[in-house]
Structure 1
Amino acid sequence: MPNRAHAMSSFAPVWDEALLRRYDKSGPRYTSYPTALAFHEAFTPADFTQALARSNTGRRGLSLYVHIPFCEKICFYCACNKIATKNRQLAEPYLSRLDREMVLAARHVDTSRPVEQLHWGGGTPTFLTLAQMGDLIDRLDARFGLSSDPGRDYAIEIDPREADVFTLRHLQSLGFNRLSLGVQDLDRDVQRAINRVQPKQLTETLMDEAHRLGFGSLNVDLIYGLPRQSEPRFAATLTQVIELAPARLSLFNYAHLPTRFAPQRRIDEAELPGADEKLAILRRSIEMLDRAGYVHIGMDHFARPEDSLAIAQRNGTLQRNFQGYSSHAQCDLIGLGVSAISRVDDVYAQNPVRLDDYAAALDDGRLAICKGLRLNDDDLIRREVIERLMCDMRIDLAAIGERFAINAASYFETSLAALEEAERDGLLTRDGLVLEATPVGRLLIRHLAMAFDTTLTQQSPARYSRIL
């Protein structure tokens, strides 16, 4: 397989703390370009349905994202769109409205197009009962036609406190073949500080059962920068997680933004690790994952070389979407549920973040799209550059020039000039119009991508998290 030896070689960067500090600025995560901050309310449901109709001519596969906003308990670090409740009956009217949304959207979709990817996120999707999960799958299948192809990527986010072995067996029978487990940290003291007490045995039992059942890929989410964390304590967590052998691992940087996310106000800022400690945690984690044989996909994602994510990166077919990195490129993404975002043809479209607004639109018989964006030619060009850079860790601007019929050297003159300092500092190498991130550049890939972003001057840096 091409570049396999390179992909499996050590990714641990030469550690220069002063350099990392200099580049550790705030910036987008580029799950889209332009980012969601550019979406506007002049975008209408009709704009979205027209994009759905246009997308049918391309015959691309479909990706469906379903947002389940409910959680029984709020984790203090959480920045997701969620509703805290112990009332499981609240899910019933929500599922009914999801079905209305599916019907309204599917009218404009050629449903013979294969649903190659399905992702349930939240919130806590496993807040639903087994019967409700089965009902939701039946509705999705009736409206869009789900796939049994072994190459499909059907994933669900799982809270180990809300699932057991029977849940996993049920999910497998529904067609899910990939699981993502929220762990964050196995240290009991840290768990208490973030209101997420989750015994290791829960996670270990589920992972063992998932391996036994033959789920195609298993992801574990960890967060560094949480209260009461330290380098040795987080290394103890990572040691235990590596022993559980997940195919993928996400190591997210906690962004403490209490003015934007109310639950974070319950975190004692005095207990957060300082900048030095956070960098020490990150450095040791990278070294441990490198020794354990994981490939650094980019940013905060790691995978075993045989996982589909690593294979897609080697093959140049990796994609970034609102759920992060994806092995299924070129799918049109339809987002369903409160706050969900769609990426279809040349548009982005988002549903309301408030459940009442989402419900009111659907009860009125219309799609709940409240804002979005249709990309212009420059947006499309820069989206391609940023996405390929984020996914491949390299970009051939000459090839971009040929694809879009532009003179790449002059078109990206300002961007290339902005990257000269990063090149001098060893974040990337340049051979003509081919740019490639170095190991340390992979950690700072968001900074490299920002050089191609022409929208940043219109936005406040405070709206974004720091890179490291």
Structure 2
Amino acid sequence: MNALISTVEFDADLLKKYDRPVPRYTSYPPATELKPEFEEVGFRASIAVSNYKKTPLSLYCHIPFCETPCYFCGCNTIITQRKTLAEPYLEYLTRHIRAMAELVDTSRLVNQMHWGGGTPNYLSLPQVDQLWNTINRYFRFEENAEVSIEVNPRFLDKNYLLFLKDLGFNRISFGIQDFNPKVQKAVNRIQPEAMLFQVMDWVRDAGFESVNVDLIYGLPFQTLETFRDTIYKTTQLDPDRIAVFNFAYVPWLKPVQRLIPEEALPPASEKMDILKMAIEDLGAADYQFIGMDHFAKPNDELAIAQREGQLHRNFQGYTTKPESDLIGLGMTSISMLHDVYTQNHKRLKDYYQAIDSHQLPIEKGVLLSAEDILRRMVIMELMCQFELSKNEFEQKYHLKFDCDFDEYFAAEQVELHQLEADGLVRLSPNHIEVTPAGRLLVRNVAAVFDTYLSQKAVNSFSKAI
């Protein structure tokens, strides 16, 4: 095991110095490089190649509807209490699933599926059953596939959870954000503590294999002490994984955030204190730091995969699965093939129109070059394993450089040595290691190898911390 995996250090001066906008590197090139000029034929060609290679599949299914807005949310959602809107969406989604299945070799097995949103449990149980059966009619699943769903705990009961588990979902995630009632009211997400503990009891009783919860720091009216209480109560819930996201206040991009009282946001110094406390208290509760904002129990698959150097990353975040083709189903969802990324239309009208025109509902995409793929390998190795052995890297990806690694990436050496001088990395002839103090800034380390970064990063990406 890499000794660095077991520890993370909080260095306030380093965090302040490097707290600048950088991609989250759920992909490389970043999603900002997807362009509307992309042609559908490129996607179809990449699918054909992966059919030949028999690459495993990962499915993402997007349910965009929410009954009420959460003011902190940055997702692509449709806020409505008119449940009838889900009916035509499911009809078009069924047609989309069928069109994708016609392109994919059905002997390829699905090893992972996730339903996200929006609020997937916006759907009624008959609608969930309908969508589940549609997907299973057109795609074949591995026996031990990871099948997960996001739920909003405010719109759940025990029967709904038992139904999900009986269908075949084995993993579940839900957002807590903060236990404090004042914070919840300020972001329009009121979830009484007793309700959250009740939902967790139902989840455990239903027998889900893994439970993930989300927290957010930097919300209005949060203080160090109130969020310490949230961390404590979250550990009492005993989830398998915990994500602690930094709230990015970007009302110019997400107009709903204008409803948040800006003057109530904690100052930058207190956000730093809150982050430090969260890391320390989660570590004391025996949660392993996976990367950026993710924590997991030491016996969780994410933690094990990281210790074994087998952790991966895609548009859905960290994953234990090997390189799979991610197929996005539904509006705004993203597909991630070996050398092509695409995103579906973000507006219902455009999504429906494309399907009615017998086209794939792709709004934009990007075709990766060989150089993009090579740099993606480097970036993901650093993001997931926190180290890169140059010799093992070549062997792992069956690469043969015309020159050695340092010569190939000669232009990046200056920045790497600057990061080393600041204590973010350790460099040796064969290794790049992210230090415990650099782990919170691993996005900055990965950015050294990103040739797409420019001034647009200021408006396109969230800050590192």
Match of 2:128 among 133, 147, 152: 133
Residues 140 and 146, structure 1, Cα contact 8 Å, conserved in 2:
no
SS at match of 2:214: strand
User: Which position in structure 2 is the counterpart of 1:19?
Assistant: 14
In the alignment, is residue 274 of structure 1 matched against residue 267 of structure 2? yes
Whole-angstrom CA distance in 1 between matches of 2:416 and 2:271: 26
Find the aligned partners of 1:52 and 1:459 in 2 and give their Cα distance: 31
Q: Name the residue aligned to 1:449.
A: 446
2:150 aligned counterpart, secondary structure: strand
- Equivalent residue letter for 1:158: V
Letter aligned with residue 94 of structure 1: Y
SS of structure 2 residue aligned to 1:444 = helix
Q: Residues 97-246 of structure 1 correspond to what in structure 2 (within 5 A)?
A: 97-147=92-142, 149-150=143-144, 152-246=145-239
TM-score by structure 2 length? 0.97
- Establish whether residue 71 from structure 1 lines up as the match of residue 66 from structure 2: yes
Which residue is equivalent to 1:40? 35
Tell me which of 248, 269, 285 is aligned to 1:255.
248
Name the counterpart of 2:351: 358
**CA apart distance, 1:401:** 4.5
CA offset digits 1:133-162 (Å, max 9, x no partner): 111000000111234x23x21110111001
4+ residue stretches of structure 1 with deviation over 6 A? none
CA distance in 1: counterparts of 2:281 and 2:100, whole angstroms: 45
Give the superposition deviation at 1:87. 0.9
Secondary structure (helix, strand or coil) at the match of 1:250 reads: strand
Shift of the alpha carbon at 1:439? 1.6
* C-alpha RMSD of matched pairs (Å): 1.4
Aligned ranges 1:376-455 → 2 under 5 Å: 376-401=369-394, 403-406=398-401, 407=403, 408-455=405-452
Q: Normalized against structure 1, the TM-score is what?
A: 0.96
Superposition deviation, residue 121 in structure 1? 0.6
AA matched with 2:451: T
Aligned residues: 461
CA contact (8 A) 2:8 2:440 kept: no
For residues 317-368 of structure 1, what are the alpha-carbon distances to aligned partners after superposition, in whole Å with 9 as ceiling and x for unaligned? 2111111111112111000111111011211011011111111101122110
Unaligned runs of at least 5 residues, structure 2: none
Query: Which blocks of at least 5 consecutive residues in structure 1 are unaligned?
Result: none
Map 1:314-353; keep pairs closer than 5 Å: 314-353=307-346
Q: How far off its partner does 1:105 sit?
A: 1.1
Name the residue aligned to 1:288.
Answer: 281
Tell me if the contact between 1:52 and 1:344 (Cα under 8 Å) persists in the aligned partners: yes
C-alpha distance in structure 2 between counterparts of 1:6 and 1:16, whole Å: 16
Cα separation, 2, equivalents of 1:26 and 1:143:
41
Supply the distance in 2 between the matched residues of 1:38 and 1:386 (Cα, whole angstroms).
Answer: 16
**Alpha-carbon distance between aligned partners in 1 of 2:270 and 2:457, rounded to the nearest angstrom:** 27
Q: Does the 8 A contact of 1:186 with 1:198 survive in 2?
A: yes
**432-441 or 258-267: which moved more?**
432-441
- Per mean C-alpha deviation after superposition, the further-off stretch among 109-118 and 187-196 is 109-118
Between 19-28 and 430-439, the greater mean CA deviation after superposition: 430-439
State the distance in 2 between where 1:73 and 1:116 align: 33
